[in-house]
Every structure is written in C-alpha cells, then in structure tokens.
Amino acid sequence: MTIVNHSFSTGHELTVDLPDHIKKFLPVDYNPLSKLSKEIATSRKGATFMKCPAVTDTFRNTWVFKSPIDLNIDIDVNQTYSNVYCDNVDQEFFDLMVDIRFLEKDERGTSPYPIIGLDLLNTFTCEQSLMLQTLPAFLHYNDFTNKATTVPGEYDINKWVRPVELVFEVKNKQERISIKKGDALCYFKFLADDNVKLQTAATPWEEIIICNDIRNADLNRPLKERYKSYSKVKKN
C-alpha cells in the first residue's frame, strides 16, 4: 500500500486558512475527490468494456476531481481585443484562482486556442518517489469537458511539491463555460504498482514556497533539474 498525503486548502481544520474573500466561495467540508473505478462501475454498470481487464486496470489509483463551486468562465477573443472574466466570483478570487496563460498571440508565438489555468488548491505528497498524472476527464460529460480540453501533465510528488493546476484549452474563442459544483474537471492518476491510499494532511506551505521560488527563477528549467534544486534546498 502506497500512502499519499492530500490537502485541499479551503479552510478545513487540517489545512491552512485562506483569505476570507477566497473562503466565502469555497465550502469548508467539501471533498473534491472520488475514485474513478467506483464512479464508472455505477455509471457504466452494463457497459461491456467494464469486463475488460485492460480497461479496469487503467482506472486503478485514479481519482476524479470535482469542482467545489459554480464558476462561469466567459472567453471573448477577437481581432480587436481579448477578454476572460467570471461573473459569479469577485475580482480578488479571480486574480488568485484564474491564470490566463495564453489567449491568441504574444512574444512567445501564437495559439489557435485560448489557454487558461485554474488553481485547484490540491496538493499531494508521498514519502517515496511517485509520479502523479493530471488527465482529461474523458469519461465524464459536462459543459467543461464539452467545451475545453485538459492539458495532461505529470511530476514526482516526492521530489516536487506544489498545488495542482488545471490547465486547459478552450475550443472556441467566443465561449461561456458553465462549471457546476460537482462537475468532473480532470482525473488524478498515481503511477504505483500497488494500491494507493489517500490520507488528509496539512498543506506543506514551506515546501510549496521553495518549489515556487525555484520555478519562478527559470520557468523553462526541466523537471529533473528542479528536483535537484528542491532536494538541495531541503537538505540545507
């Protein structure tokens, strides 16, 4: 059994308190994670693919992340201007939780799709080397999964500590994405040979700050080099 420490920073007694303007939008007692295998066993009970071990093995150690809040994201990108806004949260919440990665073009180049990030406030750590993958919620259907595509990624949660960010492409440049509380937004998959068990733990803010400083020093630094820098700072 592999134990993974999980924190969801919404003001829960085992996690850090957030500013009041953030907490008022986030339920204190909300658990955003559920096992994908259990959800699919219920929602796809009669599906023939549920009898295929190649499919069911794919669901192992995978959790569904469900939105803790309602969130409307409006995207309007055209030749004159670019704009992203949310009409059901305040500006402080938007500035902290929503990261406008790329709308159309800048000094880095161009993109056919707007790219946006959401801070999910979820942090995972492990006492041993363990890769965590963020994947699209490919077996859940809602307004978010219909109109956006989650950008996958992975990192070692023993060697790199940070809250998971959901990065996604919006399929249309003029679009409203209506996320409802409980909507599946992405999957978290742990690449362990044995079974993974999640346990609630305090948010490791000191370690998060270390990794954030390393990241900001060089945004293009490869993960392996970031791992080395993080390990070196921790030892000191």
pLDDT along the chain (236 residues), means of 10: 83 46 60 89 84 88 92 79 76 78 60 83 92 96 95 95 91 88 95 93 85 88 92 84
pLDDT of residue 21: 53
pLDDT of residue 25: 57
How far is Cα 66 from Cα 44, in angstroms, rounded to an integer?
18
**Residue written as token pair 């999910």:** 120
Residue 153 and residue 134 in contact, taking contact as beta carbons nearer than 8 Å: yes
3-state secondary structure of 46: coil
- Cβ within 8 Å of residue 175, ≥6 positions away: 74, 75, 147
**Residue written as token pair 């003029």:** 174
The alpha-helical segments, DSSP class H, found in the chain are 20-23, 36-43, 53-58, 91-97, 143-147, 205-217, 223-235
- The DSSP bridge partners found for residue 74 are 85, 176
How far is Cα 219 from Cα 23, in angstroms, rounded to an integer?
29
How far is Cα 34 from Cα 41, in angstroms, rounded to an integer?
12
CA-derived radius of gyration, the chain: 18
- Cβ within 8 Å of residue 112, ≥6 positions away: none
Residue 192 CA to its chain's centroid (Å)? 19
pLDDT of residue 107: 53
pLDDT of residue 24: 57
Strands 131-136 and 153-156: antiparallel
Report the predicted TM-score, pTM, of the whole model to 2 decimal places. 0.86
The full set of domain ranges for the chain reads 2-203, 204-236
pLDDT of residue 81: 58
3-state secondary structure of 152: coil
